[in-house]
Structure 1
């Protein structure tokens, strides 16, 4: 049995509605296109946003047991105080953190990088570490054992400036040093969530810095044997029992903040995309009003022969709903196709949809159908309430 014939036989209004829409093909196509755009906007923005969030959140996975410790900046007589961690502070952090790895960091304010010939190549963050191999792995080259006259650089810096191990760079840090180094290694990509922004950083030996203070310290806990919560709480007790001397923040807390922030941004973008469905609603309402005006005589004849108002409303609403259903049926696979392309680009897997991402496609489809249905109510009500005599004039 033909399902379409069964549907038409069971709901003859649908057959009549389809026939009426086919009489104004171009106008119906424009209304359907408006719905398609709305569904694609919501679905593609939703799935794309979820793919981007998933891609960025994956960067946090390797830093689940990591926390940062920074001096709490304070003012005294209008001057900044407590802007660095001393060697004694680092020792206290190590004692409080127990078995955790503590990596003190020099982070100067002014720095730039030159080629060996002296030509300015790029400006970059320069940070001093005692042993980068405790925290990072090399993508190219070898992490140096003799951490003196060599440097390691982030993956993004290497890719953007066509640098590789063995190249030489001249690093200038204001009021500290200005000398040439050989690149020992290029780090594996860390993602934006890396506590030290490693992808965009040039790491130099901590011994190059004459100042004894550190701008921050990284604490990494082996989560199989310890707890980053316990370590951060111990550091808080050690330093902040009487007054706030340091700020301790877990990378996991940053992850939660990012998730909340990006969720808000995604909702806003979807709201912007939903505006296109308002345009679709106006287009469909206009389509149905024009159809009702063109068919006034036809509707008048139906009403004169006893066709009830409810039947007229049902007919016109069925027409607008068909426009929405067809638009949603076209828009949904288009939105999924765009989502697959974004998944492939960001995640390397076109089918890496999350439940939330697919839900946005469903929301787009639902909004498209409901918008079309609602848009047809007023034209249907107006046509059904016109007196048969007026319609036949």
Structure 2
């Protein structure tokens, strides 16, 4: 009952606070706008950053239970050029992996890809993988199990150069071949975080390469029958017994490292966005201070008729809190709207909010109200 009486007693204070704010509408609107900017900055950066992170992490979904194996360059190696894997080393890798799938990869960075009109496709690189369908889904066409004179292209190559299924591409690889292939499939977008950077790739069959020297390998383990960490340890023991000749990177570890890095970047950006709330605090403090100075006579009358100091303090604090609440109420829908646009662009679903993204919006609203309350204490 006592609690209800306190609430009832606070209503006149809130009504009076609202009236005082309306008398200085220009300053009040500016203060609310500052809070709105801060709430939107924190909420939108948080939601948009989470959507971007999820979009990039989706590129790792097809690589569950896999690891990449890369050779270590050895200055004492008699072979010229960059260190590669031979057929015998791939066979040793398969033996050491205990039945896991080992897919060798050929990366051709000195390559030239052109359309049938002779127009070069910039930034395209040629990669040969035995079966891209092991890791990727096709957005158009179908990835064949056995392929010879066809290629699979990444989404960015297709979108930026108007390449579609059925088109023909001229692929030249220095020292290997110069041939024309038919596009049989276009891959789903993978994002820059994909382990093979598939968006900028043209995948050609391994059979097109005469010299079977492999730049890397992908080891895939069935989680029900083995552990990728155990397989990685076995391969390292096989190849690194006397000297360090291979790096084995479980892709799950790469995913976790990317997630940690992006979390740090997102928090930094939110910290930058929080500066706008500092500006809001200064604006509200200035608004309340000017209001207190202009209303010295009015406050004196309050005190003369028996208003205690605490009542005057509550009035000014209530005014600052109203500014913060109104700013949060306006800012939250805007932040969610920006987040919906980001979700639609990156994830294809405007309502695909994550719990972490929504938490950032709530944090922005709480900071907005809290900042307003703190900024109103000194003038009060």
Question: Taking structure 2 as the reference length, what is the TM-score of the superposition?
Answer: 0.90
Moved more, 321-330 or 209-218: 209-218
Decide whether the 8 Å contact of 1:344 with 1:350 is kept in 2: yes
| Structure 2 gap ranges (5+) | none
| 2:60 matched residue in structure 1 | 60
Decide whether the 8 Å contact of 1:284 with 1:372 is kept in 2: yes
Give the C-alpha shift of residue 362 in structure 1. Answer: 1.4
| 2:214 matched residue in structure 1 | 214
Moved more, 125-134 or 140-149: 140-149
Decide whether the 8 Å contact of 1:66 with 1:219 is kept in 2: yes
Q: Which has the larger radius of gyration?
A: 1
| 2:316 matched residue in structure 1 | 316
| 2:105 matched residue in structure 1 | 105
Distance 1:378 1:194, change over 3 A: closer
Give the RMSD, CA atoms, in angstroms.
2.6
Give the C-alpha shift of residue 57 in structure 1. Answer: 2.0
| 1:187 matched residue in structure 2 | 187
Give the C-alpha shift of residue 243 in structure 1. Answer: 2.5
| 2:46 matched residue in structure 1 | 46
Decide whether the 8 Å contact of 1:39 with 1:365 is kept in 2: yes
Give the C-alpha shift of residue 142 in structure 1. Answer: 4.3
Moved more, 285-294 or 177-186: 177-186
Q: Give 3-state SS (helix, strand or coil) of 1:324's partner.
A: helix
Moved more, 265-274 or 173-182: 173-182
| 2:163 matched residue in structure 1 | 163
| 1:24 matched residue in structure 2 | 24
Q: Give 3-state SS (helix, strand or coil) of 2:19's partner.
A: helix
C-alpha distance in 2 between matches for 1:303 and 1:10: 18
C-alpha distance in 2 between matches for 1:206 and 1:173: 13
| 1:140 matched residue in structure 2 | 140
| 1:376 matched residue in structure 2 | 376
Write the mapping of 1:240-389 to structure 2, written as runs, cut at 5 A: 240-380=240-380
C-alpha distance in 2 between matches for 1:160 and 1:264: 31
C-alpha distance in 2 between matches for 1:173 and 1:83: 18
Distance 1:75 1:353, change over 3 A: same
Distance 1:305 1:81, change over 3 A: same
Question: Taking structure 1 as the reference length, what is the TM-score of the superposition?
Answer: 0.87
Give the C-alpha shift of residue 215 in structure 1. Answer: 0.9
| Structure 1 gap ranges (5+) | 381-393
Q: How many pairs does the alignment contain?
A: 376
C-alpha distance in 2 between matches for 1:205 and 1:289: 73
Distance 1:246 1:278, change over 3 A: same
Moved more, 247-256 or 346-355: 346-355
